[in-house]
Amino acid sequence: MLREERLDYILKKLQTDHKVLQTELSNDLQVSEDTVRRDLESLAQNGQLIKVRGGAIPHSPNPYSFKERIEYHEEDKRHIAGKALSFLHDGQTIILDGGTTTLMLARLFPPNLRITVVTNSVPILALLIEHPLIEVIFTGGRIGKDSRTAGGMDTIRMLEKLRADICFLGICSLHPDAGVTGLDLAEADVKSVMVAAANKTIALATSDKMGTAEPFKVCEITGLDTIVTDNPELPSLKPYINLGIQVI
């Protein structure tokens, strides 16, 4: 089989199975594992997959701008946010990460909820300013126009002073081995500090983010206490449950 044919086979299998293993590809393609490893490295360098130990997994599905992502999987995000409300009660201090699912959660806050929200999200800030009882603390920092979040050392220094009850983390990619990862180094750094600043971290993730990875590490998967998703019965969630993470 020609190299181009092998690469095409790998990408098609990845699209179907959402992961590929070097040993299986070696058997399927009748080539050595070293050849498969070089093929995977070539595809990874071209940005077509993410290499992990023993194989590869796909990139996360994040092809849209923030404005477009608000409407992407909107009902799934509403379902996730509705379930996440059960973790809230008066008197808490919570961190709301930037993202469209965390924004949906903020939209569902009842008018009688009394909490303190720390956020780096400009849309969440603008929304919660109008809430009658919620105290809002904005992290400050340089605003990313695409993400609509504040970042940089000012944001990190502010978060390092904080001890929150819960961090609700917006998710780009989740993988049992690769952990929580993102597309942007600066955003990943901020998310890492948010996780460290909270007693409990709850990931809000649509099911299409599961089993994917990006280049920049936020935290190990065991840094999450809970994953709230739209379809908790999926077989692909079993590895997270086996690691002791609550999945709802």
Domains of the chain listed by start with CATH number: 3-57 (1.10.10), 66-247 (3.40.50.1360)
Q: Work out the average pLDDT over 172-201.
A: 94
* Percent of the chain with pLDDT strictly greater than 70: 95
Q: Work out the average pLDDT over 122-151.
A: 94
Q: Which amino acid is at 72?
A: Y
For 111, counting Cβ atoms within 10 Å of its Cβ (0-12 exposed, 13-18 middle, 19+ buried), the class is exposed
Q: Work out the average pLDDT over 43-71.
A: 74
Strand order of the sheet with strand 198-204? 135-138, 116-119, 93-96, 164-170, 198-204, 226-228, 246-247
Integer Cα distance of 77 and 206 in angstroms: 7
> Between 179 and 49, where is the model more confident?
179
CA–CA distance from 39 to each of 14, 177, 224 (Å)? Answer: 13, 21, 33
What is the reported pLDDT for 211? 86
- Supply 173's token pair: 């990619």
What is the reported pLDDT for 69? 66
Banded pLDDT at 46 (limits 50, 70, 90): confident
Of 67-81, 123-137, 186-200, 203-217, the poorest mean pLDDT is in 67-81
* Percent of the chain with pLDDT strictly greater than 90: 65
Geometric angle at alpha carbon 203, from 225 and 16, rounded to 5°:
110
Integer Cα distance of 188 and 218 in angstroms: 5
Residue 2 scores a pLDDT above 90: no
Banded pLDDT at 91 (limits 50, 70, 90): very high
- Chain-wide mean pLDDT for the chain? 91
- Supply 139's token pair: 């992290």
